[in-house]
Amino acid sequence: MSHPSLPRLHGIRGATTVDANEAQQILQATDELLRSLIHANGLTPDDVVSGLFTMTSDLDAAFPARAAEVYGWNIVALLHSTEIPVPGSLPRCIRLLVHAYTDRSREEIRHVYLRGATVLRPDRAGQRPS
């Protein structure tokens, strides 16, 4: 007898960039990233256990989790951190690691890289949901 697969906890990554250190740009880019990641993986806020946002040190005009809370993630544990300032790394970048329960396999998880962050993972760029 075959059993349906049970949801497993997975890490789902994403990143995006902004043109300037402006609160509205940070919140809009984060909202776009969240919507794309949620849609691409069929998630609801109840599926999400936690989220870790990092931003490069050239961004400090807003907390990206504010966009997550507006999106309905006010029940999710969220944390911010500054990205390690490696010389030559991508500027004005917002990264996200979400821990979520899903019945998808690792191979089916869709990590989302938008805007200028597509250079971080060109193999995953353009995986936006249709």
3: pLDDT strictly greater than 60: no
Any domain includes 126:
no
pLDDT of residue 1: 45
When pLDDT is averaged across residues 112-126 and rounded to a whole number, the result is 83
Domain that holds residue 26: 19-119
Any domain includes 13:
no
pLDDT of residue 69: 82
Any domain includes 62:
yes
Express each pLDDT in 27-67 by its tens digit.
999 999 999 999 999 998 889 999 999 999 999 999 999 88
- Confirm if 37 and 102 have CB atoms less than 8 A apart: no
pLDDT of residue 2: 45
E strand or H helix that includes residue 41: helix 23-41
Q: Which residue has the higher pLDDT, 67 or 112?
A: 112
- The CATH number given to whatever domain includes residue 96 is 3.30.1330.40
